[in-house]
Amino acid sequence: MRSLKAAIRRVRTAEAERSDVVVELRDAERARLEMLADELRSVFAEIPEDNDAFVLSVSGGTPPRLWIDMTSFVVMDRDRRTYRFLKDTRLGRTVIIESTEMDDVADRVTNYLAERIIERERVMEGDWLLRRTAPTDEKGRKRVPRPLGQALLEPEGRPRGGPPAVGWVVAAFLGGLLLGVAGLFAYVLLNLPG
Protein backbone atom coordinates (compact mmCIF):
# COMPACT_ATOMS: atom_id res chain seq x y z
CA MET A 1 0.00 0.00 0.00
CA ARG A 2 1.10 3.50 -0.77
CA SER A 3 1.37 5.97 2.07
CA LEU A 4 1.66 9.71 1.80
CA LYS A 5 3.41 9.88 5.18
CA ALA A 6 6.05 7.41 3.98
CA ALA A 7 6.58 9.41 0.76
CA ILE A 8 6.96 12.67 2.71
CA ARG A 9 9.47 10.97 5.02
CA ARG A 10 11.48 9.68 2.01
CA VAL A 11 11.53 13.14 0.36
CA ARG A 12 12.57 14.85 3.60
CA THR A 13 15.36 12.31 4.13
CA ALA A 14 16.61 12.82 0.56
CA GLU A 15 16.54 16.63 0.99
CA ALA A 16 18.44 16.39 4.26
CA GLU A 17 21.09 14.21 2.60
CA ARG A 18 21.39 16.68 -0.31
CA SER A 19 21.72 19.65 2.04
CA ASP A 20 24.36 17.74 4.02
CA VAL A 21 26.30 17.24 0.79
CA VAL A 22 26.00 20.95 -0.06
CA VAL A 23 27.22 21.92 3.41
CA GLU A 24 30.10 19.45 3.13
CA LEU A 25 31.08 20.84 -0.28
CA ARG A 26 30.96 24.42 1.03
CA ASP A 27 33.02 23.38 4.04
CA ALA A 28 35.51 21.66 1.71
CA GLU A 29 35.81 24.85 -0.39
CA ARG A 30 36.32 26.93 2.73
CA ALA A 31 38.93 24.47 4.04
CA ARG A 32 40.91 24.72 0.77
CA LEU A 33 40.79 28.52 0.92
CA GLU A 34 41.90 28.42 4.57
CA MET A 35 44.89 26.26 3.54
CA LEU A 36 45.81 28.85 0.89
CA ALA A 37 45.43 31.62 3.48
CA ASP A 38 47.77 29.73 5.84
CA GLU A 39 50.26 29.47 2.99
CA LEU A 40 50.10 33.26 2.47
CA ARG A 41 50.21 34.42 6.12
CA SER A 42 54.00 34.83 6.16
CA VAL A 43 53.81 36.94 2.96
CA PHE A 44 51.12 39.19 4.45
CA ALA A 45 53.21 39.56 7.62
CA GLU A 46 55.95 41.23 5.51
CA ILE A 47 53.64 43.95 4.13
CA PRO A 48 54.63 47.36 5.55
CA GLU A 49 52.43 48.41 8.46
CA ASP A 50 51.50 51.74 6.83
CA ASN A 51 49.93 49.88 3.88
CA ASP A 52 46.41 48.88 4.85
CA ALA A 53 45.18 48.12 1.31
CA PHE A 54 45.49 44.35 1.71
CA VAL A 55 43.24 41.92 3.57
CA LEU A 56 43.71 38.21 4.14
CA SER A 57 40.25 37.02 5.06
CA VAL A 58 38.01 34.12 4.11
CA SER A 59 34.39 35.21 3.84
CA GLY A 60 31.66 32.73 4.63
CA GLY A 61 29.32 33.56 1.75
CA THR A 62 28.27 31.39 -1.14
CA PRO A 63 30.75 30.76 -2.61
CA PRO A 64 33.37 31.36 0.08
CA ARG A 65 36.10 33.80 -0.97
CA LEU A 66 39.64 34.47 0.17
CA TRP A 67 39.96 38.26 -0.08
CA ILE A 68 43.38 39.65 -1.01
CA ASP A 69 42.35 43.31 -1.28
CA MET A 70 39.15 45.23 -1.96
CA THR A 71 39.00 44.15 -5.62
CA SER A 72 40.75 40.78 -5.79
CA PHE A 73 39.93 37.42 -4.28
CA VAL A 74 40.35 33.66 -4.70
CA VAL A 75 37.39 31.30 -5.11
CA MET A 76 37.11 27.62 -5.89
CA ASP A 77 35.82 26.67 -9.34
CA ARG A 78 32.79 24.43 -9.84
CA ASP A 79 34.94 21.30 -9.71
CA ARG A 80 35.92 22.29 -6.12
CA ARG A 81 39.60 21.57 -6.91
CA THR A 82 40.61 24.53 -9.07
CA TYR A 83 41.61 27.81 -7.45
CA ARG A 84 40.56 30.95 -9.35
CA PHE A 85 42.32 34.23 -8.51
CA LEU A 86 40.03 37.00 -9.79
CA LYS A 87 40.15 40.80 -9.89
CA ASP A 88 37.22 43.15 -10.40
CA THR A 89 38.03 46.09 -12.70
CA ARG A 90 36.09 48.87 -14.39
CA LEU A 91 35.92 46.69 -17.50
CA GLY A 92 34.66 43.59 -15.68
CA ARG A 93 36.11 40.64 -13.82
CA THR A 94 39.56 39.39 -14.84
CA VAL A 95 41.01 35.94 -14.16
CA ILE A 96 44.60 36.39 -12.97
CA ILE A 97 45.33 32.67 -12.58
CA GLU A 98 43.34 29.46 -12.58
CA SER A 99 45.11 26.38 -11.27
CA THR A 100 44.62 23.20 -9.27
CA GLU A 101 48.06 23.72 -7.68
CA MET A 102 47.85 25.77 -4.49
CA ASP A 103 51.57 26.69 -4.73
CA ASP A 104 51.08 28.25 -8.18
CA VAL A 105 48.20 30.37 -6.91
CA ALA A 106 50.16 31.38 -3.77
CA ASP A 107 53.11 32.44 -5.95
CA ARG A 108 50.83 34.51 -8.22
CA VAL A 109 49.15 36.18 -5.22
CA THR A 110 52.61 37.00 -3.84
CA ASN A 111 53.64 38.57 -7.18
CA TYR A 112 50.36 40.50 -7.28
CA LEU A 113 51.04 41.92 -3.81
CA ALA A 114 54.55 42.96 -4.86
CA GLU A 115 53.22 44.66 -8.01
CA ARG A 116 50.60 46.58 -6.03
CA ILE A 117 53.13 47.70 -3.39
CA ILE A 118 55.53 48.96 -6.09
CA GLU A 119 52.65 50.69 -7.90
CA ARG A 120 51.66 52.47 -4.66
CA GLU A 121 55.27 53.56 -4.05
CA ARG A 122 55.50 55.00 -7.57
CA VAL A 123 52.31 56.99 -7.12
CA MET A 124 53.50 58.36 -3.79
CA GLU A 125 56.93 59.18 -5.24
CA GLY A 126 55.31 60.96 -8.18
CA ASP A 127 53.23 63.13 -5.85
CA TRP A 128 56.30 64.01 -3.80
CA LEU A 129 58.37 64.76 -6.90
CA LEU A 130 55.62 66.93 -8.36
CA ARG A 131 55.44 69.02 -5.19
CA ARG A 132 59.24 69.18 -4.85
CA THR A 133 59.86 70.41 -8.40
CA ALA A 134 56.87 72.76 -8.57
CA PRO A 135 57.80 76.33 -9.55
CA THR A 136 57.37 79.12 -7.02
CA ASP A 137 55.35 82.30 -7.43
CA GLU A 138 56.54 85.83 -6.65
CA LYS A 139 55.95 85.29 -2.90
CA GLY A 140 58.05 82.11 -2.80
CA ARG A 141 55.06 79.74 -2.49
CA LYS A 142 55.06 76.48 -4.45
CA ARG A 143 52.70 76.43 -7.41
CA VAL A 144 51.56 72.89 -8.09
CA PRO A 145 50.71 72.48 -11.78
CA ARG A 146 47.04 71.91 -12.53
CA PRO A 147 45.88 68.72 -14.26
CA LEU A 148 45.72 69.02 -18.06
CA GLY A 149 41.91 69.08 -18.27
CA GLN A 150 41.73 71.82 -15.68
CA ALA A 151 44.48 73.79 -17.45
CA LEU A 152 42.49 73.74 -20.70
CA LEU A 153 39.33 74.98 -18.99
CA GLU A 154 40.89 77.63 -16.78
CA PRO A 155 43.00 80.38 -18.32
CA GLU A 156 45.95 81.58 -16.23
CA GLY A 157 44.48 85.02 -15.59
CA ARG A 158 41.27 83.75 -13.97
CA PRO A 159 41.33 83.06 -10.23
CA ARG A 160 41.59 79.40 -9.28
CA GLY A 161 38.31 77.66 -8.44
CA GLY A 162 36.16 80.32 -10.16
CA PRO A 163 33.03 79.45 -12.13
CA PRO A 164 33.58 77.87 -15.57
CA ALA A 165 32.97 79.89 -18.73
CA VAL A 166 29.19 79.42 -18.69
CA GLY A 167 28.62 82.05 -21.38
CA TRP A 168 30.41 80.02 -24.03
CA VAL A 169 28.52 76.88 -23.13
CA VAL A 170 25.14 78.66 -23.33
CA ALA A 171 26.09 80.35 -26.62
CA ALA A 172 27.16 77.05 -28.15
CA PHE A 173 23.93 75.37 -27.02
CA LEU A 174 21.74 78.17 -28.41
CA GLY A 175 23.70 78.21 -31.68
CA GLY A 176 23.21 74.46 -32.08
CA LEU A 177 19.52 74.82 -31.29
CA LEU A 178 19.11 77.55 -33.96
CA LEU A 179 20.94 75.47 -36.55
CA GLY A 180 18.72 72.50 -35.75
CA VAL A 181 15.53 74.55 -36.14
CA ALA A 182 16.79 76.04 -39.43
CA GLY A 183 17.65 72.59 -40.74
CA LEU A 184 14.22 71.28 -39.80
CA PHE A 185 12.46 74.14 -41.62
CA ALA A 186 14.64 73.59 -44.70
CA TYR A 187 13.78 69.89 -44.70
CA VAL A 188 10.05 70.60 -44.39
CA LEU A 189 10.11 73.23 -47.19
CA LEU A 190 12.00 70.95 -49.56
CA ASN A 191 9.64 68.03 -48.98
CA LEU A 192 6.31 69.88 -49.30
CA PRO A 193 4.03 68.32 -51.93
CA GLY A 194 3.41 70.26 -55.13
The answer to whether position 149 is within a domain reads no
pLDDT of residue 61: 77
Residue 153: what pLDDT? 47
Contact call for residues 79 and 68 (beta carbons, < 8 A):
no
pLDDT digits (tens, 9 = 90+) for 99-116: 999 999 999 999 999 999
Question: How many CA atoms within 13 Å lie on the side-chain side of 71?
Answer: 14
Burial label for 108, CB within 10 Å (0-12, 13-18, 19+), is middle
Mean pLDDT, the chain, whole residue set? 81
* Domain housing 80: 4-132
| pLDDT tens-place string over residues 110-155 | 999 999 999 988 888 877 666 666 666 666 666 655 554 454 444 5
Contact 92, 37 (CB under 8 A): no
Tell me, what's the pLDDT at 94?
Answer: 94
Q: For residue 161, what are the CA distances in angstroms to 127, 146, 157, 165, 166?
A: 21, 11, 12, 12, 14
Kindly calculate the radius of gyration of the chain based on its CA atoms and give it in whole angstroms: 31
190 assigned to some structural domain: no
Contact 84, 77 (CB under 8 A): yes
Residue 143's pLDDT is 62
Q: 154-188, pLDDT tens digit by residue?
A: 455 454 555 556 778 888 889 999 999 999 888 88
Using DSSP bridges, classify how beta strands 54-59 and 65-69 pair: parallel, antiparallel or unpaired. Answer: antiparallel
Q: Is the residue at 164 inside a domain?
A: no
Predicted TM-score of the model (pTM): 0.56
Euclidean distance between CA atoms 123 and 125, whole angstroms: 5
Q: Quick check: is 46 in a domain?
A: yes
159 within a domain of the structure (yes/no): no
Note the pLDDT of residue 116. Answer: 92
Domain count, the chain: 1
> Taking the CA of residue 43 as centre, how many other CA atoms within 13 Å lie in the half-sphere pointing to its CB?
19
Task: Tell me the percentage of the chain whose pLDDT exceeds 90.
Answer: 35
Whether residue 138 lies inside any domain: the answer is: no
In a domain, 145, yes or no: no
Integer Cα distance of 162 and 147 in angstroms: 16
Q: Is 17 a domain residue?
A: yes
